[in-house]
Structure 1
Amino acid sequence: MHLTVDVVGEGSQTVALDEGATYADLVRAVGYSVHEVTVLVDGQPVPEDRAVDDERTDVRVLRLVKGG
């Protein structure tokens, strides 16, 4: 499945995910760790172990930790 993800403050990316992928897989696909971001679907946070719903149109990744 292909999904467009808005990384807040950094633009949008289209990622390719396997069927059954989780939001943790999505986070890794956009280049982050689950420890530095939260995923919002339709404005609500989702757990990283939840399966990605390809029917959702508003998927945003909000970076919580920046720098080292």
Structure 2
Amino acid sequence: MHVTCEVVGEGTHDLSLPDEATYGDLLRELDFSLHEASVLVSGTPVPEDAPIEAEEVQVLRLIKGG
């Protein structure tokens, strides 16, 4: 499965993920923890354990820096 991820304010990433991947898997592929970022589909947050059903998503970092 091919997914285009816009990390808001940071750029776009094109990912290839297994067909059974979840939105949590997508975050891990981008090297974000589940507590650090949220995935939005059409502007609406989706649960990290839901299977990926969109070809384009936005990732909103909730925590940045340290």
The two structures have a TM-score, normalised by structure 1, of 0.90
Contact 2:2 2:55 in 1 (8 A): no
Unaligned runs of 5+ in 1: none
Aligned twin of 2:19 = 19
Question: Using the alignment, how far apart are the partners of 2:35 and 2:55 within structure 1?
Answer: 24
The one-letter code of the counterpart of 2:59 is V
The two structures have a TM-score, normalised by structure 2, of 0.93
Percent sequence identity is: 53
Question: Using the alignment, how far apart are the partners of 2:31 and 2:37 within structure 1?
Answer: 10
Residues matched between the structures, number: 66
Aligned twin of 1:67 = 65
Question: Using the alignment, how far apart are the partners of 1:29 and 1:50 within structure 2?
Answer: 15
**Cα–Cα, structure 1 residues 46 and 52, in superposed 2: closer, same or farther, change >3 Å?**
same
Kindly state the Cα deviation for residue 23 of structure 1 after the two structures are TM-superposed: 0.2
Runs of 4+ displaced beyond 2 Å: none
Contact 2:24 2:49 in 1 (8 A): yes
Kindly state the Cα deviation for residue 58 of structure 1 after the two structures are TM-superposed: 3.7
Aligned twin of 2:4 = 4
Unaligned runs of 5+ in 2: none
